[in-house]
Structures are given as C-alpha cells and as structure tokens.
Structure 1
Amino acid sequence: MSLTRDFKETIKARADADASFRAALLSEAVDLLLNGEVDAGKLVIRDYINATVGFDDLAEEIGKPPKSLMRMFSAKGNPTADNLFAVLRHLQQATGVHLAVAVA
C-alpha cells in the first residue's frame, strides 16, 4: 500500500496545526535520548527540526552550517553535548515548547 502524502509533509502539517503534537514530538525525542535510544532520538529531533524551524534557520541561529546539523541528527551523526543542548535550547525558544526534568 502506498502513502498518499509524504511523511515529512504530514508531520509538518500536524506540527503547524497542533501545539500538543509539537510538544509530544520533542518530548519523545528527549525521552528516547535519555533511555539510551540515541539513534532514534536523533531522528525524531531531525523530524522535529524539519517540521518546525527548518535546518537553515536553525543553523543561522546557532552558528553552525546546515549540512553539519543534518549530519549531527542523522542515524550515524554524533552531536557534541554543546551542540545538542544549543539545538534543544533554540527549538524550545522558537517553537514555544518548553521541557522540564522530573524525577520518576
């Protein structure tokens, strides 16, 4: 069965229309990272970036080339802690989704 709409377009349309979806997507990405599923977490962050601010705007804001950011958030990418947290900080500011840490 073929998809009728491109996955990226579907995620972007939903993220544009639904603030709770944006929050859930970013929260899921960070949960994956914290639970040791780093590759999956990076890919969800990549989807979040594509659906919200885009790599070009993000790159301009944090002072990194867009292609470097794309590589960082690929399955084989390896962002430094500085880069990861700079991206998360900007994504929170730009999209209005703010994460908090809680002890479970």
Structure 2
Amino acid sequence: MPLTRDFRETVRARAERDPLFREALLREAVQDLLVGDAAGGRAAMREAINATIGFEALAERMNKSPKSLMRMFGRNGNPTAENLLGVIAILQAETGVHLTVRAVADAA
C-alpha cells in the first residue's frame, strides 16, 4: 500500500526535529541490506530519502534523474553498488549520521 502524502510529511517533520529518528531510519535501511533483505532495505532507504533530503535534491547531488533514483529504490529496483554507496554517503552527510560496521561473532 502506498504511503499517503500526510504520512510522508509527518515522517519528514519528525526527521527534521529528531536526530535519533534520522539515525534510526538510516541504520534500519543499511542493516536490512547487510542481512540480505534487499526488498526491505530498498523500502527503508526510500523512507530515509523521503524523510531527509528527498529524491529531487538527492538526484541533483548524484547527477541522476529523480525518477531513475525512485526506480532504483522501488519494489523491483536494483541499484548498483556505486549508486547505493553514493546514496548512503550523501544521506550520512545530509543527516549528520555516520555509520560504522563492526563484526559480531555468532552466539551459537
């Protein structure tokens, strides 16, 4: 089910005023991708983009068309590693959230 404009605006307003919420959006997107949930990661990344920089500004920064970026992070999207990492880098700079990766041993 597509998100309504009111819902997107509510999420964006919260992201603007709550740095922990911005961090959680980006962290969730990257975590989903790292555990192999490509569909969930793309959806969470789309939410993070909409809540922070927006597709228009992101497209301008990446020198890509907004529609191309929307397709990349859509239901059947398949962003290249270069595009995905570029988006993550821009979102980190835009939100002030800087993610790091650390190895965690299995509990088993």
What do the CA deviations read for 1:2-56 (whole angstroms, capped 9, x no partner)? xxx8321221111011000100110010000111111111111111111110111
Paired residue secondary structure (1:98): coil
Instruction: Indicate the residue corresponding to 2:13 in structure 1.
Output: 13
Contact 1:40 1:75 in 2 (8 A): no
Q: How many residues align?
A: 100
Alignment root-mean-square deviation, CA = 1.1
Contact 1:27 1:99 in 2 (8 A): yes
Matched, 1:41 2:41: yes
Identity of aligned residues (%): 56
Matches within 5 A, 1:18-97: 18-97=18-97
Runs of 5+ unmatched residues, structure 2: none
Structure 1 letter corresponding to 2:87: V
Moved segments of 4+, more than 4 Å: none
Runs of 5+ unmatched residues, structure 1: none
TM-score (norm 2): 0.88
